[in-house]
Structure 1
């Protein structure tokens, strides 16, 4: 959604050169570019006005120091104020959930149908269980969508949390109270209540959610909103904020084309902190919201911390140590090792989501690459390796013409694809050979030089 802003800022950085200070005249063009990009991204006009006013106030008279050009200095101001508008001004702990209550701490989830509310409940249950070590119970008070209760039961089981069963004949308030009683008796620390959504805002829905809220008095009331809604996010956020004492916002589907546009609008309208962001369809695709990092991603500066976290999450440290030790003592990198590397890449998430966390210049360099096609090729490579015998995986040198034909037939691919995969394996094997002895130190020195 905000790719346009990244491109416009890059253009202005190139054109603003040779001046020692940021003045009203040399910032006017850039502020116009920022304003247009935000409006084109369907960010609410009041949010745009506030951001532009804050940037203008902070930028005027700013000295351009060191090797910065006026354009670069102004991007720095935009980044700082953008982060502040999204929520950095609320402090480091703004995205933290409040558990300062007699257990169970009740979290009420509200939002429109299709925002990803039920899936987010499962993601939040997993997050609280793994990151906060909480005993979690979930319950569905959505008695209107027949599949909602079954869907929540499924995602709760996948998250390893407990589920309180209900039926569509129960009343939402009765469901919430029964689940609360069960949670108390079975010593659950957190109860997450999934409420009914609608395709649009209506009075009956708002009254029902308000009644559930009054009955259980949750410590957290989270508004779940689709980040791709754009301007519509403002209207729904305002309606829910008027009906309920919201404590925070969860932005879903940030892995789509949104790049965080709704974050500006929703935070501005509700005045409430954005607590979580849904960054992938996987159950572990929920992150605690960080305003500074989101501002970096919006401005095309990337989110290298998130990229590192994805790598750490997907990497099997023990397996990596084992491979390093094997290579060190002279062992050969084989097809089993190659397959393990492919599996670890898959665990890091989709290639497109990883690319989204890189700075804009890297994304532009790879703009011609088809990430979906690259992922498809990875799956085919795995299929080819799976068609090999254990002996062939351990000793790839044995794979000659007749074996290649059999492997291709087993994997359902052309023999050319088997040849291509073997060539890629040879490149990987050659690289691994170089890491023996002092090769690792040489590679690290090379990387250090590149970073300089």
Structure 2
């Protein structure tokens, strides 16, 4: 996510020299490099100039504390300006009304229908009753796609495959929602080109008649400056409430997406980072700025962990650790918990400093497959008691999993190290608890 921009900004900030004070002389080339990095990442030139002028104005003459380098101070200022560029604070969607109606708009191929399914999944997990309405009457198999997504996430889809009147379908869908007690209706519309006046008139009519509580514009982050121009055109016709950035996991410069907020003055509300139905996040400008600057995003990482967290499973694992009975079945369970949290590379990028380290490294969910294959090639007794696994058993496991004995040995070694670390942490916890009890007496 914004890998190229992150590397270039890091390189630019490292050029800042001098001590004590940031001056016109020592900051000039750095500001120029930051502006170049933003423009090369597809940030609109006017926006890039405004951002760097703001950075320069804030930086000039700022005293540098003894414990802070000029580069660290400039990083803080760049973080503030990027956060401001992207909206300053997180913006919620409006889901008031009975039912609340969310109208989804966007270009063809922007990931609009997939996002519709993801949003339904997110709202359902919050305990809300959702109905999806299929109003893409032009794209072949669009209705089928929405039905498949609805089935995946357990949300009902209202569709009229033979009807070619999108407004009528939407109105009937809302009536169905009222009848069945659904509190939120998400209307998936056809992807359209901004230059197609007839199609734009259709979605304008949908908005005027349905009076949605929220209109979202979905845009593919990989489409460069076209994304900004399209957002501007759609906003002039629709006056949408917020932007959704999709495909942020792609190999993209992505800077154009950062310009949208400044150009249309509408908040980015969601980001989408993959095909999985849970690959959707609220957009936090300050956290995104941190990630772009390689500072990680620990808050989002913790939130994702909490969403995937199973308290009963955690209690069960803790008991096994205390009794030194943690086995490979438990290890598999932990891998499943991690995979529920989302894209592995994206998660690791939330750890401060890891984003740069992983820039050219291919890390995905398939990274776990060799480990899972090795564990699943063990017998139930071996998984329960790893100490049974001797040399001949390791050869059998390697053969059964399609891996090498060396890979099996590496996993066994890492697993043993992990068990020792867990045991140590558990003892430390026990010692702290005992100390706390003594102090309370």
Identify which of 387, 392, 408 aligns with 2:382: 392
Aligned pairs (5 A) from 1:283-322: 283-322=277-316
Give the aligned partner of residue 16 of structure 1: 16
SS of corresponding position for 2:80: helix
RMSD (CA atoms): 2.5
Contact 1:260/1:298 (8 A) holds in 2? no
SS of corresponding position for 1:437: helix
TM-score (norm 2): 0.90
1:268 aligns with 2:258: no
Aligned pairs (5 A) from 1:80-91: 80-88=80-88
Contact 2:3/2:356 (8 A) holds in 1? no
| Counterparts of 2:100 and 2:361, CA distance in 1 | 46
Contact 1:144/1:196 (8 A) holds in 2? yes
Give the Å deviation of 1:393.
1.6
- Give ranges in structure 2 of 5+ residues lacking alignment: 433-441
| Counterparts of 1:99 and 1:310, CA distance in 2 | 23
| Counterparts of 1:237 and 1:293, CA distance in 2 | 23
| Counterparts of 1:212 and 1:370, CA distance in 2 | 43
Give the aligned partner of residue 225 of structure 2: 231
Aligned pairs (5 A) from 1:19-58: 19-58=19-58
Identify which of 402, 405, 418 aligns with 2:408: 418
Identify which of 360, 363, 368 aligns with 2:355: 363
Aligned pairs (5 A) from 1:132-171: 133-171=127-165
| Counterparts of 2:78 and 2:410, CA distance in 1 | 46
Give the Å deviation of 1:110.
0.5
Give the Å deviation of 1:10.
3.3
Give the aligned partner of residue 99 of structure 1: 95
1:332 aligns with 2:332: no
Contact 1:140/1:152 (8 A) holds in 2? yes
Which digits, 9 at most, give the CA deviation of each residue in 1:226-253, with x for residues without a partner? Answer: 1122211112112211221211111111
- Give ranges in structure 1 of 5+ residues lacking alignment: 443-452
| Counterparts of 2:373 and 2:328, CA distance in 1 | 12
| Counterparts of 2:67 and 2:425, CA distance in 1 | 37
TM-score (norm 1): 0.88
Identify which of 101, 123, 128 aligns with 2:118: 123
Contact 1:233/1:265 (8 A) holds in 2? no
CA 1:352–1:240 in structure 2 vs 1: closer, same or farther (change >3 Å)? same
CA 1:3–1:407 in structure 2 vs 1: closer, same or farther (change >3 Å)? closer
Contact 1:2/1:259 (8 A) holds in 2? yes
| Counterparts of 2:128 and 2:35, CA distance in 1 | 44
SS of corresponding position for 1:417: helix
Which digits, 9 at most, give the CA deviation of each residue in 1:218-274, with x for residues without a partner? Answer: 121110001122211112112211221211111111222347523322112211111
Give the aligned partner of residue 353 of structure 1: 346
SS of corresponding position for 1:225: strand
Give the Å deviation of 1:191.
0.9
Give the Å deviation of 1:441.
5.9
CA 1:384–1:200 in structure 2 vs 1: closer, same or farther (change >3 Å)? farther
CA 1:9–1:409 in structure 2 vs 1: closer, same or farther (change >3 Å)? closer
Identify which of 372, 394, 417 aligns with 1:382: 372
Contact 1:274/1:289 (8 A) holds in 2? yes
Give the aligned partner of residue 279 of structure 1: 273
Give the aligned partner of residue 418 of structure 2: 428
Give the aligned partner of residue 317 of structure 2: 323
Give the Å deviation of 1:12.
4.6
Contact 2:85/2:259 (8 A) holds in 1? no
| Counterparts of 2:367 and 2:58, CA distance in 1 | 49
| Counterparts of 1:50 and 1:151, CA distance in 2 | 42
CA 1:327–1:134 in structure 2 vs 1: closer, same or farther (change >3 Å)? closer
Contact 2:307/2:341 (8 A) holds in 1? yes
Contact 1:123/1:286 (8 A) holds in 2? yes
Give the aligned partner of residue 436 of structure 2: none
1:344 aligns with 2:337: yes
